[in-house]
Amino acid sequence: AAFQASAMRCGGCGAKVGSTVVSRVLRRLRDRAASRPLPPGSPPGFLPVDITADDAALTFVPPSKKGHVLIHTIDYFRSFVSDPYVFGKIAAVHAMSDAHAMGVPASGALALAVVPHAAAERVSEETLLQMLAGGVDALAADGCSLVGGHTCEGTELGLGFAVHGIAE
């Protein structure tokens, strides 16, 4: 009943964090990544945050990689630590571990981030920023870019990543 009386803050699914907040967080993540040195051994053109406003990412297998395949894996957790930044790092490392277990380096990741319903938009924004910043730092340290994702509001903090890489 409470949700029926309130206006939808997003443009579609009814659970997304508003596009204004997401746009600001993405801009801040790009600015943050641009102000930091790239991890050692980063490939040419590597971007720690390579996100558009789309909900999906295209990953091309270069012609030089004929005979290779794309691998995909996904993990998701409800928060079990109180620090959103630390939680973001843990979730990203865990998601990449499935690719590593197959001997494949992760190259890109999509995030699924859930922030608790907050009366103040600023609270949602800071929580989302800290959680994704931790995730981006862990992904980038492994040569993996955050390339997109989806945000939601829910009853508790949660984060997952769909990770992809190229294997022979």
Answer yes or no: 13 catalytic: yes
SS (HEC) of the chain: CHHHHCCCCCCCCCCCCCHHHHHHHHHHHHHHHHCCCCCCCCCCCCCCECCCCCCCCCCCCCHHHCCCEEEEEEEEEECCCCCHHHHHHHHHHHHHHHHHHCCCCEEEEEEEEEEECCCCHHHHHHHHHHHHHHHHHHHHHCCCEEEEEEEEEECCCEEEEEEEEEEC
Say which of 10, 13, 144, 152 is annotated catalytic.
13
Supply the residues annotated as catalytic.
Answer: 13
